[in-house]
Structure formats: structure tokens, C-alpha cells
Amino acid sequence: MTKDMTQGHPGRLILGFAVPLLFGNLFQQFYNLMDTLIVGKFLGVTQLAAVGATGSVNFLIIGFCTGICSGFAIPISQKFGAKDESGMRRYIANSIWVSAAFTAVLTVLTVALCRTILVWMKTPADIIDDSYAYIVVIFAGIPVTILYNLTSAIIRSMGDSKTPVIFLVLAALLNIVLDLFCILALHMGVAGAAVATVISQAVSGVCCLVYMRKKYGILRMSREELRFSPRMAGRLIVMGVPMGLQYSVTAIGSVVLQSAVNALGSMAVASVTAAGKISMFFCCPFDALGATMATFAGQNMGAKKLDRIHQGLRAASVIGIVYCVLAFVIIWLGGRQLITLFVDAGDVEVVDKAYQFLMVNVAFYIPLLYVNIVRLSVQGMGFTRVAVLAGCSEMVARILVAMAFVPMVGFAAAAYASPVAWIFADAFLFPCYFSIMRKLRLRMYPAAENTASAAQA
């Protein structure tokens, strides 16, 4: 039921672990894709823009939830790699306590403040009510978001990337049915799409929890292991909060960019919404490779096998670059047809702008690949603050483009905002990664490094 990633061929391990994660990410995107498709086709472009206008703030908050859960799994994967099963169980127990506290605070604050945030983002008056109706339901569902992300992160930290996918597939199918039922039968509008998403994610989270309790004997805890430990909770927070902030700091730049796009009007918002949904679908392999490298690096860090981490990063690079070329060809040849899944072909302005946005982004997928695999490798090794600073680089780049170039150039500048952000992040991440590896080698293998230095001299 678990997989030890400290032994075996790195390339095969990474590919075998990443493929189930890829399917999981694809089905998770179906939550958003089906919302967008059904809203765009059955409710219209205005309602599509309303959902799209919430995208960046949605990522700001839900991304933080996802990030802290991924951070909580770092000590768990390291203890698993070190074969310390009791320590692993204690970290799991404390991750539950800490997650419960974060859930309560985040749910109350976001539900109370979401309309204020939409106003601050200059959401157009003709869509702000629908935007609020959608996002307030999503925020009210934060408890189930954290439930799924925590349980799936724990399962992945032990090398099992397949089980969460099974439950996501079931939830995605349920989401499609509930979308149609809530919107067409109950006439709930955009709020119905949000309700369908929350219910579906609740089902996947509960399924993961029940499965863990019944099938993973390694997770059976004693009363002592279940106790709250301030020391372990503190380490979990140190690991989790920076990873959550990394998502959120990145999203702040997206919020500012979304505000700049909002000022261009509903058609621009609809174009970015349709293109963004397709781009998120094509970015799933990068997320899968990144999550794989987090587990791979975490387990091998626990086992003190630094060379395997570097070997794994090279293998992930080869896999990712091949995919980047394939994605460019697909978008170049079929991008317009994909866009018409979300908007009518007769909306020529929306289709043209969305295609422009897609082509600019896919041309820079290789920098995005390295943002994911290098950042998540560093995070898996436990250096989560580096991820925050990388996120700050992305934020600065997006804000610079949004504030300086979008008002002056218009929609074309918005299309280049993310590529510029990815390049900024890579320029920070690569030097950090090599510096961290050098310092870790000196700390773990001081004799070997001194011998190598003497030989070079």
C-alpha cells in the first residue's frame, strides 16, 4: 500500500508516481472545467465572466489551504523515508489538530469578507452579485477542501499516489451530475455550480479518510501518539504556512492582474476565463511532476540520499520538456476548437483573445515546468521559505505587468504576465537549489567534500 522512493531507478519511480497524480489533477480540474462549461453554455457569457472574476481570489484562499496541507506532509514523508513509523504517526496526529484550527479561522474570515474583496478587485457591477453567490459557497466549503487535501497529502507522502485518484474520479463524475441538477433542475444559477463542487470534494475527502483508517495498518496510533505536541505542531506550522503563503503570495499577483483585466470589461474577463480554464487543464502534468518531486525529495532527504534527489530532478526535466513540446503543438492546432467548448463560436472577439492568451502561455511552459519541479523539490527537502520567496518573485512580476503595462498596452500585456512571472521565479529558484545542495552535502558528507576539494586543488 506504500512505496519506498529511496530505492530503484529514479526515472521509472517518478513516472510511475506522477501518472496517477496526473489523472488525479485532470479529474480535479473537471470540477472547474464542468462548472465553466455548463455555466458558459447554459447561463451565458455574463455568468461565465462572474465565475471567472473569482478565479484569482479563489486561488488565493484555496491555494493557501492546499499549500499548508502539502507542507504538513513534508515531515511525514521524511519520517517515512527514515523508517521512523512512530514519529510519522505523531506528525499525522498533530497535522489533524493544526488543520482543524486553520479550518475554523479561514472559513469564518473568508465568508465574512468575500464581498469586500470582490469590490476591492473592481469586479464589474453587472457580474458582482453572481460572483459573490459563487465564491461565498466555495469559501463555506473550506473544511472539505482541507479534509481532502490533508488526507491525500498524507497518503502520497507514503508513496501511494493511486488511491486519491480513484476517489477523485468518482467525485468528478458526481460533480458533473450535480452541476446539471443544481443549474438546470433547481435553477440555482452560478451558486449551483459551487454547491456541486463542494459536495463532490466532500465525498472524495470522506472516502480518503475512511480508506486510510481501514486499509493502512501503519497508521494505527496509540493514545500517546494521538496527543497534541507543541513541538511537532510548531514544526508543522513552520513547514505548512510558508507553503501556503507561497500559493497565496503568487495569487496576490494574480488578484492584481485580475483587477487590471476586470477594468478592460466583461469580454476581456470572459476571454481570460475560457483560456485560463484550458491552460489549467494543460498545466496538470507540471503539478503532477512537482508533487512527485516533493515526495521523492522528502523521502530521500529523510534517507540522506542527496544524489538521488538531483537524479530525480534530471529525470523529471526530460519528461516535462517532452510534454511541453507536445502541448504547444496541440494548442497551436486545436486551441480555437477547445475555446468553443466554453463560449459560442460566434463570440469572435472572445475566441480570438482567448487563443492569443493560450498561445503566449504555452510558448513559455518550459519555465513553468522548472518552477514546479525545482520549487517542490526544495520544499520536499524542508526549505519551505525558499518557496515563499519564489512566490514573491512571481507576485512582483505579475503586479509589474498589471500596473505598468496592461493599462497602457491592453489585453496583449495581460497574456504575458504569467510567463514573465515564471521566468522571474526560475531566476531565483535555480541559484537557491544549487546553494542548498552544496550546503547539505557539506553538512551530511563533510569528509567526502573535503576529499573532493583537496583533489581539485
pLDDT score of 457: 44
Q: How many CB atoms lie within 10 A of CB 161?
A: 24
Q: Per mean pLDDT, which range of 20-34, 187-201, 256-270, 399-413 is the poorest? A: 20-34
DSSP H/E element including 228: none
Alpha helices of 216-229 — where are they, by DSSP H?
A: 223-226
Q: What is the DSSP string of 67-128?
A: HHHHHHHHHHHHHHHTT-HHHHHHHHHHHHHHHHHHHHHHHHHHHHHHHHHHHHTT--TTTH
Alpha helices of 340-383 — where are they, by DSSP H?
A: 348-362, 365-380
φ and ψ at residue 227, rounded to 5 degrees: -70, 150
Q: Percent of the chain scored above 70 by pLDDT?
A: 94
pLDDT score of 35: 67
Contacts of 450 (CB under 8 A, 6+ apart): none
The yes-or-no verdict on residue 325 having pLDDT over 60 is: yes
pLDDT band at 1, cuts 50/70/90?
low
Determine the residue type at 56: S
pLDDT score of 314: 92
Helix (H, G, I), strand (E, B) or coil at 344: coil
Nearest Cα to Cα of residue 41 among 177, 180, 185: 180
The overall average pLDDT reported for the chain is 83
Question: The C-alpha cell of 416 is what?
Answer: 504575458
pLDDT, tens digit (0-9, with 9 covering 90-100), for 330-372: 999 988 888 887 777 777 778 888 898 899 999 999 999 999 9
- Give ∠ CA 177-183-195 in degrees, rounded to 5: 70
Q: How many CB atoms lie within 10 A of CB 376?
A: 27
The angle that helices 128-140 and 85-120 make with each other, rounded to 10 degrees, is: 160
pLDDT score of 318: 94
pLDDT, tens digit (0-9, with 9 covering 90-100), for 189-223: 888 888 988 998 899 899 988 888 887 777 787 88
pLDDT band at 453, cuts 50/70/90?
very low
The angle that helices 45-52 and 266-282 make with each other, rounded to 10 degrees, is: 60
pLDDT band at 395, cuts 50/70/90?
confident
Determine the residue type at 157: S
Taking residues 93-121, what's their average pLDDT? 90
Nearest Cα to Cα of residue 280 among 351, 166, 358: 358
Record the pTM.
Answer: 0.72
Question: The C-alpha cell of 443 is what?
Answer: 553538512
Distance from the Cα of residue 90 to its chain's centroid: 26
Taking residues 271-283, what's their average pLDDT? 82
pLDDT score of 412: 82
Q: What is the DSSP string of 259-295?
A: HHHHTT-HHHHHHHHHHHHHHHHHTHHHHHHHHHHHH
Report the distance separating Cα 409 and Cα 356, nearest Å. Answer: 14
C-alpha neighbours within 13 Å on the C-beta side of residue 13: 26
pLDDT, tens digit (0-9, with 9 covering 90-100), for 23-78: 877 776 766 666 667 777 777 777 777 887 787 788 778 888 888 888 888 888 87
Q: How many CB atoms lie within 10 A of CB 357?
A: 28
How would you classify residue 432: left for phi > 0, otherwise alpha for psi between -120 and 50, otherwise beta? alpha
Report the distance separating Cα 151 and Cα 171, nearest Å. Answer: 15
Radius of gyration for the chain, computed over Cα atoms and rounded to the nearest angstrom: 22
